[in-house]
Structure 1
Amino acid sequence: MKKNFLKAGFLGLLVSVVFAQSSLAQSDPSGKRRVTGTYAITNATLFSSPGQQGSKGTILIKDGVILGVGSGVQIPKEARVIAGDSLYVYPGFIDGAGNMGVTRPKDPERPKDMVSSNPPDEIAGITPWRSVTDQYSASASMVNDWRKAGFTISQVFPEGGMIPGKGAIMVLGDADGNNLIQLNSALSANFRGSRGMYPATAVGVMAKFREVYQNSSLALEHEKLFASTSGVKRPQITPTQSGMAAVIQKQIPVIFTTSNDLEVRRAISLQKELGFKLVLTGLENYEPVIDLIKSSNTPVLIKLEIPDDKAIKGQKEEGVTEATKAQYARVKEAYDKSLKQASLLEKAGIPFAFTTVDAKAGDAHKALKSMIENGLSEKAALAALTTNAASILGISRMAGTIEKGKMANFVLLTDTLFTENAQVKHVIADGYVFDFEVKKKAATNGKTENSGAIKVEGVWEYTSETPAGASGGELVIKKEGTGYSGTITYDDPAGTGKASSPIKNVTLSGSNMSFEFDVNAGGMSLTVTVTGEITGNTMDGSMSIAQFGSFPLSAKLASPSRNN
C-alpha cells in the first residue's frame, strides 16, 4: 500500500464541495440546483431488464441521459460518484393511467335553459379537449410518496365525467422543472353517467360515446374535403370533435376505466365497431373476460394493490350459522381470486402493467410480494413495472430498461427488489438524485450479523481515489463484546497533517462491512460512510457523504494482531 498520499484528497475535496454548495445556496433559495449533471453509479449490481441476471457494473449519466453502462465505463473528473457496492439497481418504475398530483377541476355551472336530454358537452362530462397538465402539480405529496416507492414516470389522467380529457406522461424529476415527456398521450374514458341528464346510464354512455366518435369522424372528413376541394362549405369543428381527432386518427389510445366484466365487454365492443386503440384499466376480477381480452389483443393496467382483508380477519369461527359459514367461504374465495389476477393475466399471455390509482405507495412492495406469492413470476412483475408499462405508454424508446441513450431513471435498493428487507435508498429521475432514509436492522447497532468466518480486527491501510488525487490513512478495528469499535486517520481538511476520529455503527454482514465517522470540514460537521466487501486480507468499497458523492476505496490488512 502507498504510504505517501496527496494532501488534496477525499476530505479536502469535500471542503471545496461544501463551499461550492454554500455559494449555490446563496443564489438558489430552493436548494435544488444540481452541482453537476454528471453522475456515476459505481460497482453496483445492475438488473437492466426483466429476466436478466444481475451483474456488477457502472452507470454513467449526464443531464438526465445514460451515457454508458457496464464494467468498462470511464468516469470523467466532473462526475459525482454514487457508490453502489452494496446496492441493486433497476430501471425506474412506470405508472399507467395514474392520478398522483392531479386535482379535480370545478364542475361548470349548468345553464338555466339547459335541456337535460341534450346538455352541452362540458356539462355532460364530455371534455376530450381538456389536458391533465392544467390540474397537475409536480410538488404534490403523492408524487414524492410514489417516487419513494421507486416510480420515476407516471401517465397522469384528469378527473371528471365520461370523457374527462387527455392524459400526459410526466417524469417525477425536479419539482421546479419541466417534467413533461408527452402531452396528450391518451384519452381517458369510462362508463360513468351524468346525474339528472343524458347520458345517465352505462348504456347511455355507450351510445353517447359512439355518437361523439362518429360525428367527430365525419367532421374530420369534412375538414379534409374543405381543404382540398373548392366550393365546399366551411366546416364548423367543435372543441369535442377537435379533441377526438388524435383518437380517430389512431395516434393515441383510449384508456377505458371499467368496473365490471360487463363494462369490459362494452368497451371491447365499441373498439371493434369503431376501430380505436384500446387499453383497459380499473377491473379487479379479469377471470370472466380473460379469453375475450386475449382474443382482442387488448393490454391491461391493473391496480398495484391488494384487496382489503378486514372481512376475512373479522370472520368468527364459533357461534355462526351454516348460512354465515357459506357466506364466509364465498368472501374468502373472492379474496383469494383477487390475489391471483396478475398471475392469470401472465399465464394467458396478456400484456399488463400497473396503475397507482386507489393504491397506497407505502403498500406497493407488499402488494408485489403478495402477487408473487399467488403465482406471478418475478420476471413478469418487473416487466409490469418497467418494459410492459413503457410499451403500453409508447415510450419504450426512452424508458423501461437501463441502456445507453435512454432516460436516467433508476431505483437503487439495499437488496434485490422482491426480498423481504429490500429498501429504496436512492431514486434517480430525469438525472436528479433523490435520497431516502434507510432503516437499519436491529442487529446492526455496533453488533455483527457475521458467522465469524470473516476477520476484521487489526490495522488496515487504506487509499481513496478522487479526481483531485489519492489520499489515505490507517484504520484500526477492535472487537468489543458482540460488536466492533476503532479509529481512523485521514488527511486533515485544514491542511495541518493527519487527524483521527472514532468509528461508529460498525456493521459486518457476511463479507460486507460498513461504518461511519465524523469529520469537521470548514466548520461543518460531516458524517462519512464507508462500505466495502472483504476478501481475505483486502477490502474494496467506497467512502461517501450523502449529497456530496462517493469515491472508490481499497484497503489491506497490514497487522491483524495489534491491540490498542
Structure 2
Amino acid sequence: MKRQFLKAGFAGLLISGFLSHAAWSQSDPTGKRRITNTYAITNATIFASPGQPGTKATILFREGVIIGMGPNLSLPKEAQRIAGDSLFIYPGFIDGASSAGITKPKDPERPKDFVSSNPPDEIAGITPWRSATDQFSITGNQVDDWRKAGFTISQVLPDGGMIPGKAAIMILGNSGSVNVIQENTALAANFSGARGMYPATAAGVIAKFRDVYHNTTLALDHSRLFASTSGVKRPEMTPTHTAMAAVVQGQIPVIFKAETDLEARRAIALQREFGFKLVLAGLDNYETVIDLIKSSGTAVLIKLQVPDDKAIKNQKSDSVTTATKAQYARVKEAYDKALKQASLLEKAGVPFGFSTLDAKPGDAMKALRTMIKNGLTEKTALAALTTNPATILGIGKMAGTIEKGKMANFVISTDSIFKEESQIKHVVVDGYIFDYEVKKKSVNGDGKTENEPAAIAGQWDYTSQTPAGSSGGELIIAKNGVKYTGTITYADPSGNGKVTAPIKNVSVSGKKLTFQFDVNAGGMSLTVDITGEITGNAMDGTMSVGQFGSFPLTAKLTTPSLTL
C-alpha cells in the first residue's frame, strides 16, 4: 500500500517513474548532456527558408532530426517543451569554408640532402593526402564563438601550404559526439608560396599546380593502361598523385582561397585550362570579376566581413589641402563600393554563400546588416547563410531549411535576425540546445526597458508531465520590495493529500522565472528546480530533479498580484 501511495505522489512520480526510465536520459539544454531525446519549441515565429514569411508554429525534433512542424502539432508526453512565443527561429547557418577548430600541423623536418629549388612535396606545402578531420577540435573557443554567432555546420579547410589537403564538413555540436558529416569533400588550395624554397611566388604556385595536376593525369592514364595491357611497366603512384586523383576525375572540387580579383582570375584560368570543379572562397575584393565569375559558373563563398571604416572616421574636415580632400573622396568611394559588392553579386544573379575565413565571430551579424543597408536583400542574405552553402556543399537534403526529416539545426533569436536589436538566444545543433546570454536592452521612450521582469506575483495553477503520469498543484508568488517569496503545493508522497512547501531562490530575468523547493519523500530529501518562460498569464517550462531528469511543466496565472 505504501508503495502505491509513493507512486501517486509528486515526488514518487519522479523517483519511481524515472529510475525505470533512466535509459532515455541522454542530454540537456546546455548541449553537454541531453535530458530527453525529444524537444518541442512551441508557438514560435518560424522562417523555414529564405523568402518565406514567418509563421507561428511548433517544431518537434527527436535525436537531432525534425519529426514535425505546424501550428496544431500533437506532442508526445516525453517532449521537453521550450516556450517560443516571443522567439524567432531560422535554419542553422552554414559556413562554406572555415578554419574554426583547425590546429596547425607540425612542420616536417627537412632532409639532409634538401635542395630548395626542388623540395619534396610535403616540405613545399603540397600535402593533398592530409584531412581537415586530423586537425579539427570541437572544443576550441573558435568553434563555440562561431556557434554563438548562429553557425551549425562548417566546411573546414586544413592548414598548410599551397595545397594543404582535403576539406571536411563538420557539425558544430556536442563535444562528445562524432561530428564529421562528410570527409574529403574538396581539395583546399591557395596562392601562398613556400618560404625559402620553390614555389615561393604566386607565379611559382601556378606553375607547380599545373605540374602536379598534369603529372597526376599522366599517372592515372598509366595506371589504366597497366591494368588493361600486358607488358606495360608498373606505374608508381605517389601519395600526391593518389590524393589528387579525386580532383582530376571530377569527384570533388578545388576550393581556391582567392581574396583579390587577381587571385580569382588566376583560379578561374586554371579551372578553364584543366576543367576541374572550382569553388572560390574568402573573396574580399571581387567587384571587377563578377561577370567572369558568372560566365564561368564558378561557385562563390564571399567573406563574412566588411572593410574597416577607421580610415573614413579619421578623416579631418578642417585644415586639409585640396589634394588631401581628393584622396579622402577616393578612399570613401572605394569603401562604399566594397560595401555594395554583395548586392552586385545578387543583381548579377550569382548565388553565393559565406565563408568565415579571417572573419571575426563577434562582427558577423554587424557585417551582414551592413551589407543589407547597402543593397543586399534579406532574402538573399538568409540564402547565403543557409540554402546556398548547402547546395554548394551538396548537403541540401539534410540542411539549409527547416523541414520534416532534416537535421535539427536552428538559430533562435529575440527578434528578426536582421534587426539591430535582435540577439541570438539559443542555437540548436544536431538536436543539442546551446543557451546564450541575452543582454538587457536600452531604456525606451516611456522609461521602461523592453527586457524588464515579467509580472509573476499571484496564484498559479501548474501541471507537470512525467513518463509515470501527470501531477499538479498551486504556486503562490508574492513580491516584497525587490524580493520574491511564496509557496507551492504538491501531492504528499505518503498519500496524505496535499503538502505545501516554501519556494526559494526566486529569480526573474526578463520573461524567465526560476526557483527551487524541497521535497521529502520516504526520508529522501530532494531539491526541485523550476525554470519557465512567461508569456502573458501563461508559463511554459521545465521541472528538474537532480539525477532523475527534467520534465515539462505548464502553468497559468489565475489570480494576479497577491501580497503576503
Q: Which residue of 1 aligns with 2:168?
A: 168
Q: Which residue of 1 aligns with 2:535?
A: 533
Gaps of 5+ in 2: 1-5
- Tell me by how many angstroms 1:527 deviates: 5.0
Q: Which residue of 2 aligns with 1:297?
A: 297
- Tell me by how many angstroms 1:61 deviates: 2.2
Q: Which residue of 2 aligns with 1:553?
A: 554
Q: Which residue of 2 aligns with 1:3?
A: none
Q: Which residue of 1 aligns with 2:415?
A: 415
Q: Which residue of 2 aligns with 1:334?
A: 334
Query: 2:325, 2:286 → 1: CA distance?
Result: 26
Query: 2:526, 2:422 → 1: CA distance?
Result: 32
Q: Structure 1 residues 526 and 314, CA, compared in 2 at 3 Å: closer, same or farther?
A: farther
> What do residues 384-426 of structure 1 show as CA deviations (whole Å, max 9, x unaligned)?
1111111111111111111122222222222221122322222
Query: 2:313, 2:31 → 1: CA distance?
Result: 47
Alignment size in residue pairs: 542
Q: Structure 1 residues 80 and 45, CA, compared in 2 at 3 Å: closer, same or farther?
A: same
Q: Give the SS at the match of 2:307.
A: coil
> What do residues 426-468 of structure 1 show as CA deviations (whole Å, max 9, x unaligned)?
2221222222223344669xx9668xxx998865545455554
Matches within 5 A, 1:3-14: none
Q: Structure 1 residues 469 and 335, CA, compared in 2 at 3 Å: closer, same or farther?
A: same
Query: 1:416, 1:76 → 2: CA distance?
Result: 29
Q: Which residue of 1 aligns with 2:488?
A: 489
Q: Which residue of 1 aligns with 2:503?
A: 501
Query: 2:423, 2:31 → 1: CA distance?
Result: 26
CA contact under 8 A between 2:490 and 2:499: conserved in structure 1? yes
- Tell me by how many angstroms 1:285 deviates: 1.7
CA RMSD of aligned residues (A): 3.6
Query: 1:134, 1:448 → 2: CA distance?
Result: 52
Query: 2:285, 2:325 → 1: CA distance?
Result: 23
Query: 2:269, 2:122 → 1: CA distance?
Result: 25
Query: 1:414, 1:493 → 2: CA distance?
Result: 40
Q: Which residue of 1 aligns with 2:76?
A: 76
Query: 2:238, 2:148 → 1: CA distance?
Result: 42
Q: Which residue of 2 aligns with 1:398?
A: 398
Q: Which residue of 1 aligns with 2:177?
A: 177
Matched, 1:37 2:34: no
CA contact under 8 A between 1:39 and 1:60: conserved in structure 2? yes
Q: Give the SS at the match of 1:426.
A: strand
Matches within 5 A, 1:122-521: 122-441=122-441, 459=459, 461-465=461-465, 467-474=467-474, 487=486, 489-491=488-490, 497-501=499-503, 515-520=513-518
CA contact under 8 A between 2:7 and 2:16: conserved in structure 1? no
Identity fraction in percent: 61
Query: 1:14, 1:374 → 2: CA distance?
Result: 56
Q: Give the SS at the match of 2:354.
A: strand
Q: Give the SS at the match of 1:519.
A: strand
Query: 1:9, 1:375 → 2: CA distance?
Result: 61
Query: 1:10, 1:268 → 2: CA distance?
Result: 68
Q: Structure 1 residues 65 and 561, CA, compared in 2 at 3 Å: closer, same or farther?
A: closer
What's the TM-score, normalizing by structure 1? 0.85
Letter in 2 for 1:531: E
> What do residues 40-71 of structure 1 show as CA deviations (whole Å, max 9, x unaligned)?
22332222111112222222222222222223
Matches within 5 A, 1:10-25: none
Query: 1:20, 1:307 → 2: CA distance?
Result: 58
Letter in 2 for 1:367: A
Query: 1:386, 1:217 → 2: CA distance?
Result: 36
Gaps of 5+ in 1: 1-5
Q: Which residue of 2 aligns with 1:110?
A: 110
Q: Give the SS at the match of 2:159.
A: coil
Q: Which residue of 1 aligns with 2:3?
A: none
Q: Structure 1 residues 477 and 174, CA, compared in 2 at 3 Å: closer, same or farther?
A: closer
Query: 1:99, 1:220 → 2: CA distance?
Result: 32
Q: Select between 420-429 and 525-534 the one with higher mean Cα deviation.
A: 525-534
Query: 1:318, 1:442 → 2: CA distance?
Result: 35
- Tell me by how many angstroms 1:352 deviates: 1.0
> What do residues 496-515 of structure 1 show as CA deviations (whole Å, max 9, x unaligned)?
6133437955578xxxx654
Letter in 2 for 1:555: K
